[in-house]
Chains A and B, each alone.
Chain A
Amino acid sequence: MPAVQETVERVKRIDVDQYRYGFETQIESDKAPKGLSEDIVKFISEKKNEPAWMLQWRLEAYRRWLTMTEPTWARVDYPKIDFQDLYYYAAPKPKKTVSSLDEIDPEILKTYEKLGIPLREVAMLEGVEPKPGEEDPARRKIAVDAVFDSVSVATTFKAELKKAGVIFMPISEAIREHPELVQKYLGSVVPTSDNFYATLNSAVFSDGSFVYVPPGVRCPMELSTYFRINERNTGQFERTLIIADKGSYVSYLEGCTAPQRDENQLHAAVVELVALDDAEIKYSTVQNWYPGNSEGKGGIYNFVTKRGDCRGDRSKISWTQVETGSAITWKYPSCILRGDNSSGEFYSIAISNGFQQVDSGTKMIHLGKNTSSRIISKGIAAGKSQNTYRGLVTAHRKATGARNFTACDSLLIGDKCGAHTVPYIEAKNSSATFEHEATTSKISEDVLFYCIQRGLSQEEAVGLVVNGFVKDVLQQLPMEFAVEAQKLISISLEGSVG
């Protein structure tokens, strides 16, 4: 039909160069020399004043990494990475420690402002120093641990969290201040030997967040970290560790966006979650890194290992992600359902446009009795992108009564893109009930024209239809992020139509 042809023409004109957040910040960097060696690992460890055990841990990972090779099973295609041609450490020149946002480099604050991240506003409203009587109790609090170029530059709300007994700090600090917790849990979910990128991360991780919620405590605010990549050729190796002790609850939000680049940038983060008996962790991500230009040049390589361990009985871990950026995404936030009656959830929106390649999904590993998991995945492919859902659901021999429900829906915009669903299902006991549903559809010209006839522009129509398509997942996000995510979905599809 000619009408379809029209959309195809429009999609061809995709201009991801319009990427909103393409700018650089002028900050003098403190860089390690290019390349990776034991010396670089030592340099990083030293920069962070790490104790000897941490250096040892890193070095072991590094030696292990030397024996490993990159995984090739994902449906992504990119030139071979020269790991000796990357920088492994960069930091803004250390300033004296800050007690308020006002002491942060204004350049950095400006960057956040352009991103529309209301760090300053949050600080004013929620009080680095709250003015008495001005606090609105209805407003939900967000603590921001801002990670800027590998080093945390601002930590707010520390005091209030401390009152609740919640530890929320850069992991580099936690290594020094809470070595017993870090030693006990670091690498206990994603072992240093886990996979090529996780092992690399273990050797050179720069910084990230550490959260510990003590028994019975409901974390008094949403925790959020905004990541930013800002150094040419700087590998980013975030490391996050969240522990919810017995009967506790925490909701953690992560979001990021990066400046425009010519060269590909490697990002290999590791996130570990541990939920003990009756604890619940909700981890939400909105990811919007530079996806590359209209020729498919540049853009972030995002090779992430995220895993949650429902270690305790009746524990619960829920991943929600909105993935719109990166040239390549290789990411499978997973749950190990170890405790009896534990449950895991994975809600995902993955949007690819231009030349983006997404290979993402989850693993639900049922080990305990009566464990349950739920997977809702929404993939949207536009332009010449490839969007793959890859999911694994397994039930161990002893995991009697394991239940899983999986629904994977893909939406195609134009006919130069592809959506693929690759489910692996493995039940080693007969009492497991696994359900799997999958659909793939094309965005309908008739639906778009219906909206346009009612007064919406083509872009607004696509935005509306796509937001409807992903509604089930958007609803899982905390309110603050749902609005941001909705905007992001429309932005990332800008230029996918004329």
Chain B
Amino acid sequence: MALLEVKDLKVRVEEREILHGLTMTVNEGEIHAIMGPNGSGKSTLSHVIAGKPGYEVTDGQILFKGEDLLEMAPEERAAKGVFLAFQYPVEIPGVTTMNFLRTALNAQRKARGESELMVPDFLKKVREVSKSLNIPQDMLKRGVNVGFSGGEKKRNEVLQMALFEPSLCILDEMDSGLDIDALRIAADGVNALHSPKRAMVVITHYQRLLNYIVPDIVHVMSKGRVVKSGGKELALELEASGYAQFEDAA
């Protein structure tokens, strides 16, 4: 079943069109990779899906589980199951990671009309997940991402993904700034979350990440358009021949 349908999406930032009519469909259980050179509009697409302010959608639509996503407030999208793992997770001083996780989870539950998770249940869940991601407990007591290493920040994103149980996970350049070990831990965490009901959209510049998270479908973006889609072998092809061949197609 189609989870996310992006149809002929045109997006402007400050009077300049960045996405020029982008179409893609992500079904439940699928892993999609979006590849493309810097500046091709990958992050813009992820931001528009998540509802970040500052982007003007001039044409097209986005459906999520058949509903008009662009009509929803960003926090509503989160509660409905859209999760964006940021390329550069921010720091929030003075707000402990534990407090943040609980506040966010309860906000989402409240928006869905569910009751707050009881503290012991919450703690149990956090402990389980953080253990599997190799996140030490004292990291949860520190301010959100404050003083975290690059790898810790990305693991913290995966931790939230595991905790909030979204149905659509968009990972923007999860591999940037990570060494191989850190990348493997984060990728294992992501793979563990793969399920028949959940879809992943993995945005990356390099093929490397896709050795760890193996996509069903690869899209190549260039200059604000999807210029080619194919199976996982497309990523390898790109790795060998580079993006240049697509520049003209765009």
Whether both chains belong to one complex is answered with yes
**B100 in contact with A444 (CB, 8 Å):** no
B103 at the interface (CB under 8 A from A): yes
Contacts of B111 in A (CB 8 A): 455
Q: State the CA gap A446–B52 with chains docked (Å).
A: 9
Interface set, chain A 441-464, CB cutoff 8 A to B: 444-447, 449-458, 460, 464
**A455 in contact with B54 (CB, 8 Å):** no
A471 at the interface (CB under 8 A from B): yes
Q: State the CA gap A429–B44 with chains docked (Å).
A: 59
**B104 in contact with A454 (CB, 8 Å):** yes
| Main SS at interface, chain B | mixed
Q: State the CA gap A211–B55 with chains docked (Å).
A: 59
Q: At the interface with chain B, which of A1-9, A57-65, A131-139? A: A1-9
A464 touching B53 in the complex, CB below 8 Å, given contacts A454-B160, A456-B104, A456-B107: no
A415 at the interface (CB under 8 A from B): no
**B93 in contact with A460 (CB, 8 Å):** no
Q: Which of B75, B95, B104 contacts A465 (CB 8 A)?
A: B95
**B13 in contact with A450 (CB, 8 Å):** no
A449 touching B52 in the complex, CB below 8 Å, given contacts A2-B13, A457-B75, A464-B103: yes
**A467 in contact with B95 (CB, 8 Å):** yes
**A446 in contact with B103 (CB, 8 Å):** no
B89 at the interface (CB under 8 A from A): yes
A470 at the interface (CB under 8 A from B): yes
Who on chain B is nearest to A465 by CB? B92
**B74 in contact with A452 (CB, 8 Å):** yes
**B74 in contact with A449 (CB, 8 Å):** yes
B226 at the interface (CB under 8 A from A): no
A472 at the interface (CB under 8 A from B): yes
Q: How many residues of A are counted as interface, with CB atoms below 8 angstroms from the partner's CB atoms?
A: 28
Q: How many residues of B are counted as interface, with CB atoms below 8 angstroms from the partner's CB atoms?
A: 34
Who on chain B is nearest to A9 by CB? B53
Contacts of A460 in B (CB 8 A): 103, 107
B143 at the interface (CB under 8 A from A): yes
Contacts of A464 in B (CB 8 A): 92, 95, 100, 103
**B50 in contact with A453 (CB, 8 Å):** yes
Output the least CB separation between B86 and chain A (Å).
Answer: 7
Q: State the CA gap A455–B75 with chains docked (Å).
A: 4
A453 touching B92 in the complex, CB below 8 Å, given contacts A2-B14, A2-B53, A445-B53: no
Output the least CB separation between A329 and chain B (Å).
Answer: 23
Contacts of B53 in A (CB 8 A): 2-3, 6, 445, 449
Output the least CB separation between B157 and chain A (Å).
Answer: 10
**A470 in contact with B54 (CB, 8 Å):** no
| Contact code string B87-109 (vs A, CB < 8 Å = 1, else 0) | 01111111100001001110110
Contacts of A456 in B (CB 8 A): 75, 103-104, 107
Contacts of A469 in B (CB 8 A): 93-94
Interface set, chain B 138-157, CB cutoff 8 A to A: 143
Output the least CB separation between B88 and chain A (Å).
Answer: 8
B164 at the interface (CB under 8 A from A): yes
Contacts of A452 in B (CB 8 A): 51, 74-75, 78
Total number of residue pairs linking A and B with CB closer than 8 Å: 88
Output the least CB separation between A309 and chain B (Å).
Answer: 33
| Contact code string A468-498 (vs B, CB < 8 Å = 1, else 0) | 1111100000000000000000000000000
Q: State the CA gap A465–B93 with chains docked (Å).
A: 8
B33 at the interface (CB under 8 A from A): no
Who on chain A is nearest to B110 by CB? A455
Contacts of A465 in B (CB 8 A): 92, 95
A467 touching B94 in the complex, CB below 8 Å, given contacts A452-B74, A455-B111: yes
**A450 in contact with B74 (CB, 8 Å):** no
**B92 in contact with A468 (CB, 8 Å):** yes
Contacts of B73 in A (CB 8 A): 457
| Contact code string B51-72 (vs A, CB < 8 Å = 1, else 0) | 1111100000000000000000
Who on chain B is nearest to A466 by CB? B94
A455 touching B93 in the complex, CB below 8 Å, given contacts A2-B13, A2-B54, A3-B52: no
Q: State the CA gap A468–B13 with chains docked (Å).
A: 31
Q: State the CA gap A54–B56 with chains docked (Å).
A: 70
Q: Which of B52, B79, B86, B92 contacts A455 (CB 8 A)?
A: B79
Q: State the CA gap A467–B55 with chains docked (Å).
A: 29
Output the least CB separation between A57 and chain B (Å).
Answer: 46
**B92 in contact with A470 (CB, 8 Å):** no
Q: Which of B50, B54, B78, B94 contacts A471 (CB 8 A)?
A: B94
Interface set, chain B 28-55, CB cutoff 8 A to A: 50-55
- In the complex, 17 of the A-B residue pairs with CB atoms within 8 angstroms, ordered by the A residue number, are A445-B54, A449-B52, A450-B89, A453-B78, A453-B84, A454-B78, A454-B104, A454-B160, A455-B164, A456-B104, A456-B107, A457-B75, A464-B92, A465-B95, A467-B94, A468-B92, A470-B94
Assuming A2-B13, A455-B75, what are 7 further A-B pairs, CB within 8 angstroms?
A2-B54, A449-B53, A451-B92, A453-B74, A464-B103, A465-B95, A472-B94
